[in-house]
Amino acid sequence: MDRLTIQALQAMKREGRKIVGVVAWDTPMAMIAERAGVDLVSVGDSVGVNLWGRSEEAPVSIAEMLIVCKAVRAGVKHALLSCDVPSGSLADARRLVEEGGADLVKIFAAAERVRGIAAAGISVFAEFHGGAGRSIDELLAEARALEEAGAAMLDFRHSGPEAGAAVARAVSIPVIGGLGGGPWLDGRIRMAHAALGYGVQWLDSQAETYAHVASIALGALSAYAEDVRAGRQIRGQRG
């Protein structure tokens, strides 16, 4: 199966077909997402907080992003691969494409920064935020400016149904969203761990999710510990 392209996702928008995106940080999860048939796998710099246990104030370096981007690239053969550029710089964007294997880079930056990266021949997934009292007119202007600067896709966070639908109609490129998004956009992006309920926070949470992997993992590891302590052979051991 051929790898998806930016043009293919843009065609999906024109045809009214929703784009499915997930955030992943390792090869096994990327391979599972690929098997599920997602269209976009995004390597977020949220890896520092959500996988490595860092505080929000501890940034992820480009060297670290390259390691994670390469790991996900190893598991993604068909879906489009996006990698975050924490610094938003052209030099780092180029490294993620040339060394990390990213198909496009995601940045949270003004239109002029997008323009510089896009002018270098690198596809840009541009992020911007709604909420905080921003008017629909302001958001429409920002979305159009990002498209005019050369963005290939937009990640519109905290869009809301009115602003989200208006922005999706106003630009020709796909507008997808994670936090605060909804069916009014051209697609959705969700952290794979969140969709699976895989994280210690889901052990005690009643939040709705598509699975409860944390509880399954807890049960499995508890059973493994019991077998070891009871002197029984552990399950699935070879040899």
**Within the chain, where are the H helices?**
6-15, 27-36, 47-50, 62-75, 90-98, 111-119, 136-149, 161-170, 192-196, 201-204, 213-229
Phi, psi of 15 (to 5 degrees): -90, 0
pLDDT score of 3: 86
pTM: 0.93
Given this model, what pLDDT does residue 238 score? 67
User: Would you state the pLDDT for residue 226?
Assistant: 97
Task: Give pLDDT tens digits along the chain (239 positions).
Answer: 688 999 999 999 999 999 999 999 999 999 999 999 999 999 999 999 999 999 987 889 999 999 999 999 999 999 999 999 999 999 999 999 999 999 999 999 889 999 999 999 999 999 999 888 899 999 999 999 999 999 999 999 999 999 999 999 999 999 999 888 899 999 999 999 999 999 999 998 878 899 999 999 999 999 999 999 999 999 987 65
pLDDT of the residue at 180? 82
Residues written for the chain: 239
11 residue type, one letter? A
Residue 58 pLDDT: 82
Structure tokens at 68: 């994670």
167-170-176 Cα angle (round to 5): 45
CATH fold of 6-196: TIM Barrel (3.20.20)
For the chain, the domains span 6-196, 198-232
How far CA 147 is from CA of 41, 124, 128, 170, in Å, comes to 21, 10, 12, 10
